[in-house]
Structure 1
Amino acid sequence: MTMAENKTQATGVSVDAFLAAAEPEQRRSDARILRDLMTRISGEPAMMWGPSIIGFGRYRYRYDSGREGEMARIGFSPRKASLVLYIAGGFPRHDALMAQLGRFTTGKSCLYIKTLSDVDMGVLEALIVESLDYMLETYPPD
């Protein structure tokens, strides 16, 4: 039995070209700030994952079901309605930091922010740092 390939894989698409097409202008501007922040924190270059996720670093995972794959350690997508951040929860200060973040909503493993001006950038940076640290501990580099 062969496993289905993950739909979201690293691509060679230009991050700059993708960001240049992001709408509206505020989303484009916020996305460039997030790209620079995540690049600085991760020490990894921005890469496109699938058609719409900008990711940093990579890790391999394996579920109990046997399904395995590779994904960015942290990332985001500048969607029309909001910025969607893909950062892990589960680390010790997650709930406390989220309580101080500002205006946002959450989904399964996503953080939705309308504009960066809605959140405390210092708290957002701490969330990203601690999420990345948690990911590195949980999924050590090969």
Structure 2
Amino acid sequence: MAENKTKATDQDVTAFLEAVDHPVRRADGLVLDAMFRRITGWTPRLWGPTIVGYGSYDYVYDSGRSGTSLATGFSPRKTALSLYIMPGYQDYSAIRDRLGKHKIGKACLHINKLADVDLSVVEELVRRGVDDLGRRYPVTGS
């Protein structure tokens, strides 16, 4: 089976965030980093070249594929901030209704800028996502 492409690295998270070109994404990334640290109590690691991850978990799918992934995190991408909640956002529609302007993918929440959303709702989503993941898999702090 193919290995996961996105793995934890030893790159400096703060240096990565401070080097983000887009000034709003850079500032929002620093705000999210402080928020995720406060919520999880974990030190972030850079996963691949662009994902700031907090904690990790080992998984095995029904197909037999297994690996390690970040427990939660975000990426200040060029087009939007992508927030990762590993169980996915589909079951959180009632919370997302209170969030503000966003789009979702399978395990990603895309936000143009933090000014478009209610930060207390973002915090609630992160907390719920980490708690939900912890009920499904053993989660290790970082």
- CA change 1:81–1:90 in 2 (3 A) is closer
1:60 aligns with 2:58: yes
Which secondary structure state, in structure 2, belongs to the residue aligned with residue 84 of structure 1? strand
For 1:109 and 1:86, how far apart are their aligned partners in 2? 6
Aligned to 1:17: 15
* The structure with more strand, counted as a fraction of residues: 2
Tell me if structure 1 keeps the 8 A contact 2:89–2:109.
no
For 1:108 and 1:130, how far apart are their aligned partners in 2? 16
Tell me if structure 2 keeps the 8 A contact 1:83–1:115.
yes
Aligned to 2:27: 29
Tell me if structure 2 keeps the 8 A contact 1:91–1:130.
no
Tell me how far 1:127 sits from its aligned partner.
Answer: 0.6
Aligned to 1:85: 83
Normalising to structure 1: TM-score of the pair?
0.92
**Residue-pair matches, total:** 139
Tell me how far 1:91 sits from its aligned partner.
Answer: 8.3
Aligned to 1:120: 118
Aligned to 1:136: 134
Q: Flag as ranges the 4+ runs of structure 1 deviating above 4 A.
A: none
For 1:8 and 1:137, how far apart are their aligned partners in 2? 23
Aligned to 2:94: 96
- CA change 1:89–1:5 in 2 (3 A) is closer
Which secondary structure state, in structure 1, belongs to the residue aligned with residue 8 of structure 2? coil
Higher RCO structure, 1 or 2 (CA under 8 Å, sep 6+): 2
Q: Percent same amino acid at aligned positions?
A: 45
Which secondary structure state, in structure 2, belongs to the residue aligned with residue 111 of structure 1? strand
User: Could you tell me which amino acid in structure 2 is paired with residue 126 of structure 1?
Assistant: E
For 2:118 and 2:62, how far apart are their aligned partners in 1? 37
Q: Deviations for 1:64-91, whole angstroms, at most 9, x for unmatched residues?
A: 1111000110011000111000113368
Across the aligned residues of Structure 1 and Structure 2, the Cα RMSD in angstroms comes to: 1.5
Q: For structure 2, which runs of at least 5 residues remain unmatched after alignment?
A: none
- CA change 1:86–1:65 in 2 (3 A) is same
